[in-house]
Structure 1
Amino acid sequence: MRKGIRRSILTVLLLSMAGLLAFTAGSRYIHASPRNRRGTIQSQKIQLHDWSSEPAVASFYQIGRFVTNRFSDVTLTYTNPLFTLSETIQDSVETMSMLTRFIQKQNPAISRDIAARQAAAFLRYSIKYGAPLDLVVAVANTESHFNPNARSSHGAAGVMQVTWRVHENLLRANGIRSEEELYTPEKGIAAGCLLISRYLRAYGSPEKALGRYYGGPSSVYWARVSRNLSKLQRYRPGNRL
Structure 2
Amino acid sequence: MTPSRNLGAAVRSVFSDTTEGFLEIFRNTLALLGIAVACMIVVFLVRPDWRLAGEAQLHAWLQERQHAAAEGSIASEPEAIERTTATNPKALPREQAAIAYWLSKKYKVAAEPMAALVAEAYNQGSQHKIDPTLILAVVAIESRFNPFAQSSVGAQGLMQVMTRVHTEKYEHFGGDLAAFDPVSNMRVGVAILKEYIRRAGSIEGGLKYYVGAANLPTDGGYGAKVLAEYQRIRQVAGRAAPASPPAQPTTTAAAPAAGASQTLALASTQSADAAPGATHPDNM
Shift of residue 92 of structure 1? 5.7
Query: AA paired with 1:231?
Result: R
Q: What is the CA–CA distance in structure 1 between the aligned matches of 2:151 and 2:83, rounded to whole Å?
A: 30
User: 2:177 aligned with 1:180, yes or no?
Assistant: yes
Contact 2:148 2:157 in 1 (8 A): yes
Distance 1:193 1:237, change over 3 A: same
Contact 1:160 1:189 in 2 (8 A): yes
Q: Structure 1 length normalisation: TM-score? A: 0.57
Contact 2:169 2:188 in 1 (8 A): no
Give 1:25's aligned residue.
Answer: none
Q: What is the CA–CA distance in structure 2 between the aligned matches of 1:224 and 1:140, rounded to whole Å?
A: 12
Q: What is the CA–CA distance in structure 1 between the aligned matches of 2:83 and 2:157, rounded to whole Å?
A: 21
Q: Choose between structure 1 and 2: higher helix proportion.
A: 2
Query: AA paired with 1:163?
Result: M
Give 2:276's aligned residue.
Answer: none
Query: AA paired with 2:212?
Result: G
Q: What is the CA–CA distance in structure 2 between the aligned matches of 1:181 and 1:147, rounded to whole Å?
A: 14
Contact 1:122 1:137 in 2 (8 A): yes
Distance 1:134 1:169, change over 3 A: same
Give 1:102's aligned residue.
Answer: 102
Give 1:232's aligned residue.
Answer: 233
Distance 1:167 1:230, change over 3 A: same
User: 2:221 aligned with 1:220, yes or no?
Assistant: yes
Shift of residue 189 of structure 1? 1.1
CA RMSD of aligned residues (A): 3.0
Deviations 1:107-148 (A, max 9, x none): 11x122211211121111122222221211111111011111
Q: Secondary structure at the match of 1:165?
A: coil
User: 2:114 aligned with 1:115, yes or no?
Assistant: yes
Q: Structure 2 length normalisation: TM-score? A: 0.49
Runs of 4+ deviating beyond 4 Å: 53-57
Deviations 1:11-36 (A, max 9, x none): xxxxxxxxxxxxxxxxxxxxxxxxxx
| Overall identity of the aligned pairs, in % | 23
Q: What is the CA–CA distance in structure 2 between the aligned matches of 1:192 and 1:102, rounded to whole Å?
A: 22
Shift of residue 236 of structure 1? 2.5
May I ask how many residue pairs the two structures share in their alignment? Answer: 156
Distance 1:54 1:177, change over 3 A: closer
Give 1:200's aligned residue.
Answer: 197
Q: What is the CA–CA distance in structure 1 between the aligned matches of 2:206 and 2:239, rounded to whole Å?
A: 31
Deviations 1:96-116 (A, max 9, x none): 2122112212211x1222112
Q: What is the CA–CA distance in structure 1 between the aligned matches of 2:191 and 2:102, rounded to whole Å?
A: 22
Deviations 1:43-67 (A, max 9, x none): xxxxxxxxxx67558x99xxxxxxx
Q: What is the CA–CA distance in structure 2 between the aligned matches of 1:180 and 1:221, rounded to whole Å?
A: 27
Could you list the runs of 5+ residues in structure 1 that have no partner in the other structure?
1-52, 61-89
Query: AA paired with 1:226?
Result: L
Residue correspondence of structure 1 range 45-124 to structure 2 within 5 A: 55=84, 93-108=93-108, 110-124=109-123
Could you list the runs of 5+ residues in structure 2 that have no partner in the other structure?
1-81, 241-284
Give 1:19's aligned residue.
Answer: none
Higher RCO structure, 1 or 2 (CA under 8 Å, sep 6+): 2
